């Protein structure tokens, strides 16, 4: 079978260690295999990269196993042609995989061009994706916290949600904060929202009569504090997201150069 890459390496990436099989073919034509193990700390991975460069390695391949492949990819992508391969694809290639060490098997497949690399976005695009996903999680958590406020209000028989369109609107928050701070008079609570919501004073007062205990006040205070924290985190993440999106757009407009844009990563 034709050898496409004479100097290449297969990596078996785990949480704490990386098993390496380096395949080289010196000028005398005699193939050589060398095995090493490195830890996954930054210092160790940099040592791995230095050793591979010293040996003239040009291509590196490993499976996309959970999130453990990411730091390895981040530290090696600038020095080698790095192929992150779908584990199912490797399993689909015929061979004695059960009898050969994983790193050696990956190196053998890479050497003969039998691996198809997964597409790995650019660094700005990866950062944009992480930030977007994080903002979604924050928004979902805020929605869950608002639902907890509703649940606490139902437990007190306060029907604020029945007379306002947004339980987290400005007027509603003023009322909720007052309740959390110890205010229990329905008239004074209703006065906080008069003119800010469609409901009149009588409707508001009727909705704000219930059975609020210190337990409920504690929960409301915690919910409101958590919601404010999440809203600030959403705003902060959104600001960084906008900056990262701008960088990603500029990066996308750069000329398509190098192996990262080849068809093998599509």
* pLDDT reading at 138 higher than 60: yes
Judge whether 17 lies within some domain.
yes
Local confidence band at 201 (pLDDT 50, 70, 90 cut-offs): confident
Domain count within the chain:
2
Q: Are residues 54 and 153 in the same domain?
A: no
Q: Are residues 111 and 138 in the same domain?
A: no
Nearest to 111 by CA among 213, 23, 199, 50: 23
Residue in the structure block whose two tokens are 């034509």: 29
Q: Are residues 22 and 100 in the same domain?
A: yes
* pLDDT reading at 256 higher than 80: no
Domain of 63, in residue numbers: 8-120
The pLDDT, as a whole number, for residue 234 is 96
* pLDDT reading at 14 higher than 50: yes
Q: Are residues 84 and 195 in the same domain?
A: no
Judge whether 3 lies within some domain.
no
**Stronger pLDDT, 99 or 219, i.e. the higher one:** 219
Q: Are residues 106 and 168 in the same domain?
A: no
Q: Are residues 168 and 199 in the same domain?
A: yes
Among the candidates 120, 155, 188, a domain finishes at 120
**Stronger pLDDT, 65 or 208, i.e. the higher one:** 208
The pLDDT, as a whole number, for residue 13 is 93
Q: What's the pLDDT tens digit per position in 26-50?
A: 776 678 899 999 999 999 999 999 9
**For residues 45-83, b (16+ Cβ closer than 10 Å) or e, as one string?**
beebbebbeeeebebbbbbbeeebbeebbebbbeebbbb
Among the candidates 120, 149, 177, a domain finishes at 120
* pLDDT reading at 25 higher than 70: yes
Judge whether 166 lies within some domain.
yes
Q: Are residues 109 and 14 in the same domain?
A: yes
Q: Are residues 205 and 109 in the same domain?
A: no
Judge whether 212 lies within some domain.
yes
Strand partners, 18: 13, 38
Among the candidates 98, 120, 142, a domain finishes at 120
Helices 214-252 and 170-180: angle between axes, nearest 10 degrees? 140
């Amino acid at each position: 079978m034709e050898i496409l890459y004479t100097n290449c390496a297969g990596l078996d990436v785990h949480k704490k260690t990386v098993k390496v099989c380096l395949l080289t073919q010196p000028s005398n034509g005699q193939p050589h295999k060398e095995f090493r193990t490195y830890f996954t700390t930054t210092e160790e991975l940099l040592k791995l990269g230095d050793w591979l460069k010293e040996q003239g390695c040009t291509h590196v391949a490993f499976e996309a196993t959970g999130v453990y492949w990411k730091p390895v990819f981040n530290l090696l992508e600038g020095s080698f042609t790095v192929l992150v391969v779908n584990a199912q694809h490797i399993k689909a290639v015929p061979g004695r995989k059960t009898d050969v060490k994983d790193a050696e098997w990956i190196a053998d497949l890479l050497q003969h061009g039998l691996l198809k690399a997964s597409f790995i976005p650019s660094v700005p695009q990866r950062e944009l994706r992480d930030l977007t996903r994080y903002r979604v999680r924050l928004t979902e958590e805020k929605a869950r916290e608002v639902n907890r406020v509703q649940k606490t209000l139902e437990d007190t028989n306060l029907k604020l949600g029945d007379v306002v369109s947004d339980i987290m609107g400005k007027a509603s928050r003023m009322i909720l904060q007052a309740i959390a701070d110890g205010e229990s008079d329905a008239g004074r609570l209703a006065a906080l929202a008069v003119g800010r919501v469609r409901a009149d004073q009588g409707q508001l007062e009727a909705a704000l009569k219930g059975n609020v205990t210190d337990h409920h006040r504690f929960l409301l205070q915690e919910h409101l504090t958590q919601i404010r924290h999440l809203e600030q985190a959403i705003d902060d993440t959104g600001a960084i997201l906008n900056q990262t999106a701008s960088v990603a757009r500029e990066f996308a407009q750069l000329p398509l150069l190098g192996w990262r844009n080849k068809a093998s990563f599509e």
